[in-house]
Chain A
Amino acid sequence: MRMIEAVRAAITEEMERDERVLVMGEDVGRKGGVFGATDGLYAKFGEARVLDTPLAESGIVGVAIGAALNGLIPIAEIQFADFIHPAFDQIVSEAARTRYRSNGDWSVPIVIRAPFGGGVHGGLYHSQSVEAFYAHVPGLKVVVPSMPADAKGLLKSAIRDPDPVLFLEHKKVYRLVAEEVPDGDHLVPIGPAVVRREGVKLSCFAWGLMTHYCLQAAEQLAADGTSVEVVDLRCLAPLDRDTILESVRKTGKAMIVHEDNITGGFGAEIAAIISEHAFDSLDGPVVRIAGPDIPAMPFNTPQEEFFMPNPVKIAEAMRKLAAY
């Protein structure tokens, strides 16, 4: 099963399990979503639970918040993460803060799904990585699966979570890989990272598409006799610090790979955690491989390739760090 089908399976099963669950967003109904994540749900569950909304992201999230306050469990789809910014206020100032400002009296159990990331010629407005903005926000969980089984299990957990969850799905991963996905109540807890490949020479931390690129790069280094550990973080908030630090203490070297531009990207937070808590274990600089500090990913092929980390760039950086 591919990730897009895994996402659809998770939503379908949760809507079958709990009639409070509903889907809302732009073109999620009759069209079945721009990527097909909600394909067939409109026919199966009807208009009231598979709701086509106006093209107004703040309104989508705001309506979802209200529906959650009144007992429903909305899954709000933002058609592309690039367009989530009008809803920043509703997500950050409202959904993520409601439990805190009411001292636990109110909560907002919503999931906001958003396809993100580049490498698909999406240009400036269909390629962005937005995780750093939101992983900064206490009260909000940020989940970024890289594998189909995780996508299903984490999304089901997100839907059952009593707090707001931003669920970022890399659009290039939707149909990139396929794997066995457990039927039925397959739940993956929100929080723990997973070691995708064990190694001893250096640790590489990634999420989304970059997990796959790091695994490909690690395979190249293995051919050279260099053992690289690849950790798929899966969740950025809460962040599995223990797995990160345990890996760094084992290998002594750390690399973070993300698509988002480097300055203020989430890699900076991981680097800071490592330097604060595993400084004595380090045998080299903490390295970040990330997009350049330009406003967004260009549409044209050479500049898109310039922007995106890829297995070749990552492998080169791995070799350099391993030799440090």
Chain B
Amino acid sequence: MPLPPRVRCPKPDTYRSLAPEVQSTEAVTARASDNGPQPHTLLALYQVMVMARAIERRLWVLDHLEPPHTVARSLWPPHPVGRSQPGRKAAPLGVGGATPVVTGFEAVQAAAAAALRIGRDWVVPCHLDLALCLAAGVSPLDVMLAVFGRAADRASAGRQSPGAFGSRAGRIVMTSATAGRSVVQAAGIAYASKVSGRDEVTLVCSDERGVQSGDWHEGINFAGAHGLPLICLVEDLAGAQPLAQSSYGSPAARAEGYGLASETIDGGDFAAALAAFERAVDRARSRGGPTLIHASVVDLTSIGTDGGMRPAEELEALASQDPIDRMRRRLQGAGLLDAAADDDVQRECARVVAAAVEEASTAPSPDVASALDNVFSRV
């Protein structure tokens, strides 16, 4: 296959090329079963993954190194569960230093987006779903406006803690701070789709901890009982949870008890993830009922479970499992990406993120008086 023209990472305003309002979703959701995703789709998804990583790294710098109060210090990106941060001073809000753990989830989220009809299907994300939401139409500037708590934050006007993505036009449902709570709501969304006779699919995401909440169980119980077109993605950072806080038995086994189909996948393997999501989407659209996908990913961060730094050789060994590197190798192997094009992607993503930070950091905060707006409808 000949190399496509050199890849250009889209500018912030055109990053919405994946969003429904400016482009047919058909190109983005080209199906693997039809000889796999189209080259430009794969490359766009790779760009999303790289962009997510670039955003995350920039946020880490902002959260740790920038002067206090330049950003709305936040709980997002989330921190490794149960890990101390040796050598780090406490952040102003007492949050503590943050090593993001969004890293590692990029491939499974890109695959989920690829299997859905973005803008027609429903996405109910959790705090981990940066790459998913970028693929669904959230821009890097949107992310940064939320991080800085700015008035122009389209999801929330700076009200909700960063990482709570939402867009009614894009059918990205803004959720709250508790992952399991949204699963019953997603079941309600899927119920409405079913009884309205629309072939929409709803994807709801949670981390492994969300699986332990009552709402998660009530949600998948309802979905199983009604055979709803729902996909429940459990995003599991391997080793993040002490055993005593983990579920007894796998999420997939639990889901089967509620009548859901289930799959356990390597969340760092884009192709495997895409195939799993496509099966789940097909099942949902053909009224075959809900599916749980339990995606485990490798923890690529440098802090070990004991709070200390992990050995360099251990991190180097893990690097080969980085989902972005795996995707890059896949694209290179298919002749879709060369080193120069990849450099362009990396540089352009960094530039876009830097521009988003610059714009967001100088954007105005909301008026104090607007704190009283939108408690109730004005109608």
Interface residues of A (CB under 8 A from B): 22, 48-49, 53-54, 56, 58-59, 62-72, 74, 86, 89-90, 93-94, 97-107, 138-139, 141, 161-163
Contact = CB atoms under 8 A, between A and B. Distances in A.
Contact of B185 (A22, A63, A72, A161): A63
B168 A106 contact: yes
B155 A102 contact: yes
A106 B166 contact: yes
B118 to A, nearest CB: 16
B295 interface: no
Contacts of B154: 105
A54 B218 contact: yes
A94 B166 CA distance: 14
B184 A58 contact: yes
Contacts of A94: 176, 181, 185
B105 interface: no
Given A58-B215, A100-B159, A71 B376 contact: no
22 contacts: A49-B195, A54-B225, A59-B187, A59-B219, A62-B183, A63-B187, A65-B184, A68-B188, A69-B173, A69-B188, A70-B122, A70-B200, A71-B192, A71-B196, A101-B160, A101-B174, A102-B155, A102-B166, A103-B156, A103-B157, A107-B377, A139-B376
B215 to A, nearest CB: 6
Contacts of A89: 178, 181, 215
Interface string B342-379: 00000000000000000000000000000001111101
A37 to B, nearest CB: 21
B186 A59 contact: no
B211 interface: no
From B167, B191, B377, residue with most partner A Cβ within 10 Å: B191
Contact of B176 (A49, A53, A97, A139): A97
B219 A99 contact: no
Given A103-B157, A105-B174, A162-B377, A66 B190 contact: yes
Interface residues of B, number: 43
Contact of A67 (B174, B178, B189, B377): B189
B193 interface: yes
A54 B222 contact: yes
Contact of A69 (B185, B195, B376): B185
A80 to B, nearest CB: 19
B219 A101 contact: no
Given A59-B222, A62-B185, A94-B185, A163 B376 contact: yes
B84 interface: no
Contacts, number: 137
A45 B190 CA distance: 20
Interface of B: 122, 154-157, 159-160, 164, 166-168, 173-174, 176, 178, 181, 183-193, 195-196, 200, 214-215, 218-219, 221-222, 225, 373-377, 379
A62 B204 CA distance: 14
Contacts of B215: 58-59, 62, 89-90
Nearest to A93: B176
Contact of A101 (B159, B184, B186, B218): B159
Given A56-B218, A59-B221, A66-B192, A99 B181 contact: no
A103 B370 CA distance: 10
B155 A70 contact: no
B377 A62 contact: no
Given A56-B218, A71-B196, A97-B176, A103 B374 contact: yes
A69 B181 contact: no
A103 B218 contact: no
A139 B174 CA distance: 17
Contacts of B218: 54, 56, 58-59, 62
B26 to A, nearest CB: 23
Nearest to B177: A93
Contact of A72 (B176, B192, B375): B192
Contacts of B183: 62
Contacts of B192: 66-67, 69-72
Among A54, A100, A161, max chain B CB count under 10 A is at A100
Contact of B187 (A62, A99, A162): A62
Contacts of B187: 59, 62-63, 66
B375 A138 contact: yes
Nearest to A57: B218
A309 to B, nearest CB: 32
Contacts of B168: 102, 105-106
B283 to A, nearest CB: 20
Contacts of A53: 222
